[in-house]
Structures are given as C-alpha cells and as structure tokens.
Amino acid sequence: MDFNVVQILLVAVFAFIAGIDQFSFLESLYQPIVSGAVIGAILGDLQTGLIVGGTYQLMTIGNMPIGGAQPPNAVIGGIMAVIFAISSGLEPTAAVGLAVPFALIGQYSVTILFTIMSPLMSKADKYADDANTKGIENLNYMAMGLLGLFFALVVVIGLIGGSAAGTALSAFSEKAAWFMSGLGAAGGMMRYVGFAILLRIMLSNDLWGIYFAGFGLATIIGSIESLKGSALLIIAFIGIAIAIYDFQNNVKMKNNAGFVSVGGGDDEDGI
C-alpha cells in the first residue's frame, strides 16, 4: 500500500507533536490508543488504527522512565505498529512485534537528546541568575523542537520504508508463517509484560486475594457466551463495588476510633 505526500506530512506532523507531548504538553496525545486512532484516520483505516493502538497500549501500560533509563518509546512504536498493520495487512500482534525495533530507536533518540541537553543546564542556571526568562524559554523550545524532529524523522523513514516493503513483507509472511506466528506470539505476550510491570509496582500483599478473585471472575464470565462481550465492564463494576465498600469501612473505623471507652469508671465517679 502506497501513501501520498499529504499522508506522510500529516504523520510526520503528528509524530512531531506527540513526541513533544510525551515530555512537555502531557495531554495524552502520545498514548498509543490515541495515536493509533489518529494515524489510522490519516492512513484511511481508522478501525485498524484503533485495534492496533489499543493492543500497543496494553503492552506499554506499565512502562515508565526511571532516572535516565528510558523504556521502548511508546510514541514511535505505536505509530509504526499501525503503519505496518495498514501497509502490510498484518495481524495487530505481529505488527506490534515488528514495531518494537522502532520503539527502541525512539528510546535511543530520547537518551541521545537528554545527553546533548545535559551540558546546557549550566547555561539555564546562568540565565536564571540573570533573570533572563527569554533565554530559558529558548532553551526549552530548542529541546522540544529537537525531540519532535527526532520522532518525525524516525517515523517518516519507517513509513517510507514500510510502504516500499509492504508487498515483500506480505509475501514473506506467507512463506515464513512460522516466523510471523512467533512475532504474533511475542507481540501478544508483551501486553501481559506491561501488566506485570504495573502489578510489581502497585500490588501490595493485602490485595493478592482480590487479584486472584478478579482473575477467577474473568475466567468464569469470559466462558459464558452471553456475557463474554461485556466481561470487562462487569468486572469493573464489581471492582468499584469492592472499592466503595472498603472505603466506607475504613471511614467508619476511623470515625469510631475516637469513641472507644475505657473501663474503670464514669463521669459520676469523677474520673
């Protein structure tokens, strides 16, 4: 599938904005579930964009930068997964697997940019001492511009290369079905890795029972054909009910803590 100049430019502009949004705007435009829909609409296949974006979002849900360590970049990875899925007709999980190298390139781009900008922090300190707000603004604008340019460049290279290799990739997927199945399995597994990272950070020992109960409910409800489509919503409502009940009990315990009486006397005894 070939893309025209307007589509390439629009994808580049969105990648530029999303790259800046990830670290500066924080409007969630960079999230794969959003970028997938936007890129899918630009490339003429909104449904595929939504499906692939949602799949990639599950993979990255627990990823977060820690200090200077950057996870595979969700912006570039999510955009390239949609591009591969639309240009080559790949399954979402296989497209996600193929997009991971581009996500790693995005990670390296961010690390390189942060390294370049580190020596300029002393310059920013000098501007702050001189109350030079304009100089600080220019440094920030330069950093954001370079970051967006990195992202746009990587995505355009991937878009042009992916478009040119679309037919060959489709033929390869038929000849090497075992390899594409492996990519699909890896891409499908990555969403659970994302959840595992999230659980490692958030889960406390007191919540293991609720976790296993939710897993059991998901298995039971998912096996009922009439409830399968709304299983996630049903489990969410059950989780909300448990959270409300637990919150109300904690509030009652705190309120009653101040009214605990101690035996051994009363007001009439003067104690």
* pLDDT tens-place string over residues 19-72: 888 777 777 788 888 988 999 999 888 988 888 888 888 777 656 655 445 667
Q: What is the pLDDT of residue 10?
A: 92
Q: What is the pLDDT of residue 270?
A: 46
What the block records as the tokens of 269 is 């005894």
Average pLDDT of the chain is 77
How many Cα atoms sit within 13 Å of 263 on the Cβ side?
A: 0
Distance, CA of 119 to CA of 67 (rounded, Å): 17
Q: Write the DSSP symbol of residue 133.
A: H
Q: Are 71 and 203 in contact (CB under 8 A)?
A: no
Distance, CA of 66 to CA of 268 (rounded, Å): 62
Q: Write the DSSP symbol of residue 72.
A: S
Which residue in 96, 73, 81, 98 sits closest to 21, CA to CA?
Answer: 73
Distances (CA, A) of 121 to 70, 105, 129, 143, 163: 20, 25, 12, 11, 40
Distance, CA of 140 to CA of 23 (rounded, Å): 11
Q: How many CB atoms lie within 10 A of CB 98?
A: 23
Pick 20 or 115 by higher pLDDT.
20
Q: How many CB atoms lie within 10 A of CB 155?
A: 28
Q: Is the dihedral of CA 51, 55, 58, 63 positive or negative?
A: negative
Give the chain's length: 271
Q: What is the pLDDT of residue 166?
A: 44
Q: What three-state secondary structure class fits 27?
A: coil
Q: Are 232 and 221 in contact (CB under 8 A)?
A: no
Q: What is the pLDDT of residue 13?
A: 92
Distances (CA, A) of 210 to 214, 216, 243: 6, 10, 10
For tokens 């799949």, the residue is 55
66 phi/psi in degrees, rounded to 5:
-125, 110
CA angle 4, 108, 150 (to 5 degrees): 40
Task: Report pTM.
Answer: 0.59
Q: With 80 as the cut, is the pLDDT of residue 78 above it? A: yes
How many Cα atoms sit within 13 Å of 107 on the Cβ side?
A: 19
Partnered with residue 66 across adjacent β-strands are 69
pLDDT mean over 100-123: 76
Q: Where does the pLDDT of residue 188 fall: very low under 50, low under 70, confident under 90, or very high at 90 and above?
A: low
Distances (CA, A) of 90 to 167, 174, 184, 196: 11, 11, 9, 26
Q: Are 21 and 151 in contact (CB under 8 A)?
A: no
Pick 222 or 171 by higher pLDDT.
222
Q: Which of the residue ranges 11-20, 69-78, 185-194, 223-232 would you say has the lowest mean pLDDT?
A: 185-194
Task: Say which residues have a Cβ less than 8 Å from residue 265's Cβ, sequence separation at least 6.
Answer: 271
Distance, CA of 92 to CA of 81 (rounded, Å): 8
